[in-house]
Amino acid sequence: MAEYILLVADVENSGLLSKSSLEALSAAKRLVESIPASRFAVALVGEKVEAAMDQVATCGADRFLAVEGADFAQSRYGTDALAVEALVKAAQATVVVAPANSRWNRVLPGVAHRLNGRVDTHVTSFTIAGGNLEINRWYYRQRMEATLKRAQRPWVVLLESGFLAAWIGASGKAPIEKINPAITDSLRRTSAIGIKAPVSDQQTIRPEAELLFVAGAGWTKKQPDGQTHVPDAEKLILGFIRKTRSSLGSSKSLVDLGGEGQAILSFLSHLNQIGQTGATPRHAKGLSTCCHGEEPHTVGWRFISERRAINLDPNCGWARGKADVLYVADAFKVITLLNEMLK
């Protein structure tokens, strides 16, 4: 079935599009190329859209639609939902593709409802079967994968990052068509008064990082000298994270220790937890340290392409097919040496 595909993306503070928006653009292009007689348009929302439109001017879209203005500088449900509703109607889109970021995950399900369409969130890939779109997503904490197709249109698809390479192409001059939805004061009831975020060197979760560094409970356990060395562990882990700009993950046991009144690594929270009841990040490489590699933890490594682990125990879970390489070694010593080398 021929589709009219609309890429919906938000303009970053830099004035350009994020990597995940460019990945969604790659997805829109791939759909157009794979579904006969299909076409696509780009739709941007932001305070100023020109630079971002020019960034993707040569992507091959039919139309470059935009909702622009101060009302759209920051994420706000009321104004964002109206903007996308107007864009989908203007394009008469049958499939809407957007990056699964916090802005669109919150807004687009409501837009699909307003348009009497359907939405699928956390989509991790898609296939074309007999010229028709089918999407893939995981359920039950990444344990079951489903393939779905839908007859209802418009079909809104929120794509997780990391499944396609970001679109790259020459910039140019895009012919922007501006859409002006009528924004009333009642839609402006919510206003963002600022952003509270950790200062950048305290930020340990970095979805864009090449490497995921995982700390396990072993860092807080008694070591061969019969003592715990939690302050040393803190220094070694933070030193490694800062030098490599990698993202910090944790096992559940380690983040739970705080609640059990034990010595803990102060910079870890449940947001760092990887696994069945934690996150399933997408990094090219992963390095696990002082973590046993049990199934409820390693299930969160499903999308990590190259996995390595450092553990004193040659019979740990990583040795049983969970890692590509297991270093049977003392992580305190290995990370001390690595940090020296990284100087």
Ligand X SMILES: Cc1cc2nc3c(=O)[nH]c(=O)nc-3n(C[C@H](O)[C@H](O)[C@H](O)COP(=O)(O)OP(=O)(O)OC[C@H]3O[C@@H](n4cnc5c(N)ncnc54)[C@H](O)[C@@H]3O)c2cc1C
Query: Is 223 a binder of ligand X (CB under 6 A)?
Result: yes
232 binds ligand X (CB under 6 A): no
DSSP conformation letters of 117-164: -EEEEEEEEEEEETTEEEEEEEETTTTEEEEE---SSSEEEEEPTTSS
Indicate the residue among 184 and 277 with the shorter CB distance to ligand X. 277
Strand-by-strand arrangement of the 211-215 sheet = 247-250, 211-215, 285-289, 306-311, 325-328
The shares of helix, strand and coil residues in the chain, as percent rounded to the nearest 5, are: 30, 25, 45
- Give the contact letters, 235-254, x = binds to ligand X (CB under 6 A), - = no: ----------------xxxx
Q: Is position 21 an interface residue for ligand X (rule: CB under 6 A)?
A: no
> What is the SS3 assignment for 169?
coil
CB atoms within 10 A of CB 333: 11
Residue with tokens 């779109």, as numbered in its chain: 133
What is the footprint of ligand X within residues 264-323 (CB under 6 A)?
273-278, 290-292, 294, 296-297, 300, 310-313, 316
CB of 219 to ligand X, least distance (A): 7
Using CB under 6 A as the binding rule, whether residue 156 contacts ligand X is answered as: no
- Interface with ligand X, residue 233, by CB under 6 A: no
216 binds ligand X (CB under 6 A): yes
The minimum distance between CB 92 and ligand X, in angstroms, equals 43
* Smallest distance from ligand X to CB 240, Å: 14
Question: What gap in Å lies between CA 93 and CA 86, rounded to an integer?
Answer: 11
Instruction: Give 190 or 315: the residue with its C-beta nearer to ligand X.
Output: 315
By C-beta, is 292 or 307 nearer to ligand X? 292
Q: How many residues bind ligand X (CB under 6 A)?
A: 30
Least distance in Å: CB of 244 to ligand X? 18
Question: Residue 154 interacts with ligand X (CB under 6 A)?
Answer: no
**Three-state DSSP class for residue 115:** coil
Q: Do 180 and 167 touch, CB atoms closer than 8 A? A: no
In sequence order, what DSSP letters do the residues of 10-42 get, joined into one string?
Answer: E--TTSS--HHHHHHHHHHHHHHHHSTT-EEEE
Applying CB under 6 A, which residues contact ligand X?
Answer: 216-218, 221, 223, 251-254, 273-278, 290-292, 294, 296-297, 300, 310-313, 316, 330-332
